[in-house]
Amino acid sequence: MSRVTPVENINYWRHPSLSGIELSQAEFTHFSFDKHVHLDYHLGVVTQGAQQFINKGSRYQLGQHGLSTLNPDETHDGQSRDAEGYRVKVMSIPVEYMNSISQEMGLKAHFFNAPMVDDPALYQYFIQLHDVLIQGQCSELAAESHLLNFMQLLLTRHPSGMLNLRQDRGLSWQQLNRIKQKIHDEPWQNTQLEALADEVNLSKFQFLRQFKLATGMTPHAYLKRVRLELAKKSLTHGALVADVAQQLGFFDQSHLNKAFKQAFLLSPVQFQRRML
C-alpha cells in the first residue's frame, strides 16, 4: 500500500491549447509509489533531491540533469532516495500525440530505450517548457511550438529503440498483449481470474504466476491502475465522479475516491478542479 506521510504539495494542470497533455508538479518526502503503469508517455525531471525507482528489474536514480522517459504500459515504482525528499515536474503525453509527432518527423512509433537519459541541455529545456505551459499565458501557437521544439530535440538526440518482443520469462508477448487488450477493452468488467487464464490456456495458478513475472504486477493491480488512469482522462473532460465510478467498474463513488487518492494524492474532485 502506498504511504502518504507527508506530502508537501502536488498540483496538476493542462494547457488549453494542448489536448490530452497533462502537467504535474510535486514535492515528496516519504511517499512511495507502488508498482504501476501509465497509459501515456511520462517525461519528468527532479529539480531538488533525487528519486529512485525500479524499471524492468533494474534500479535507477534520477537526480538533477537527468530526464525520465517512461513508455506507456511500463511497470515501475518510485520513492525518494533519502529522507530529504525530492521535487519533480512531470508531463504526460498521449500515445496518439507522440505517434503524430513521430510521423511528422518521418520516424516510426517511438519507444524509449531506457527509462531515463542523462542530458543536461534537455533537462533545462524541459524545466523551461514545463514552467511556460503551467503558467498558461502563452498563445496556442507559442505553446505548441515550444512543445514540438522540445520533442524534436528529444527524439533526434535519443532515437527510438526497437521494442523487444521476446519475453525471457512469464507470459509470451502475444499472450500478454492479448490479456492487456482484453482489460483495456473492458475495464469495467470484474473479470474472473479463471476467464483471463482461459484466454491463454493456462490454469489460474500458472496464469497468475506468469502474468506477475511478465509485468511485476498482479492482474488485479494492473486492472485497478488502468481504471484509475482512465478515470483521470474522464475527469479531465468534465465527467461526474459518480458516473466515472460506475462506468469503470468501481463498487461505488467512495471506492473510487479512496483508490484515486491513494494513487494520485488528490481526490477525484480536487484533481478535476485543477484540470478544468
Q: What is the pLDDT of residues 69-92, one digit of tens each?
A: 999 999 999 999 998 899 999 999
**Model confidence pLDDT, tens digit, residues 20-56:** 899 999 999 888 899 999 999 999 999 999 999 999 8
Same domain, 126 and 31: yes
Contacts with 248 (C-beta within 8 Å, 6 or more apart), sequence order: 187, 188, 227, 230, 231, 234, 256
Would you state the pLDDT for residue 8?
A: 60
Classify residue 166: in a domain, yes or no.
no
Same domain, 43 and 79: yes
Give the CATH number of the domain where residue 177 resides: 1.10.10.60
- Enclosing domain of residue 218: 173-275
Would you state the pLDDT for residue 81?
A: 93
Q: What is the mean pLDDT of the chain?
A: 89
Cα distance between residue 110 and residue 57, in whole Å: 22
High-pLDDT (> 70) share of the chain, %: 93
Same domain, 184 and 106: no
Same domain, 45 and 125: yes
Q: Which helix (H) or strand (E) holds 60?
A: strand 58-62
Same domain, 12 and 148: yes
- 3 has pLDDT over 60: no
Nearest Cα to 230, choosing from 187, 264, 200? 187
pTM of the model: 0.79
Cα distance between residue 239 and residue 262, in whole Å: 20
Same domain, 109 and 150: yes
Which of 103, 133, 157 marks a domain boundary? 157
Higher pLDDT, 145 or 5: 145
Q: Which three cell numbers stand for residue 254?
A: 467512495
Classify residue 162: in a domain, yes or no.
no
SS3 149: helix
| 50 touches 63 (CB < 8 A) | yes
Same domain, 41 and 68: yes
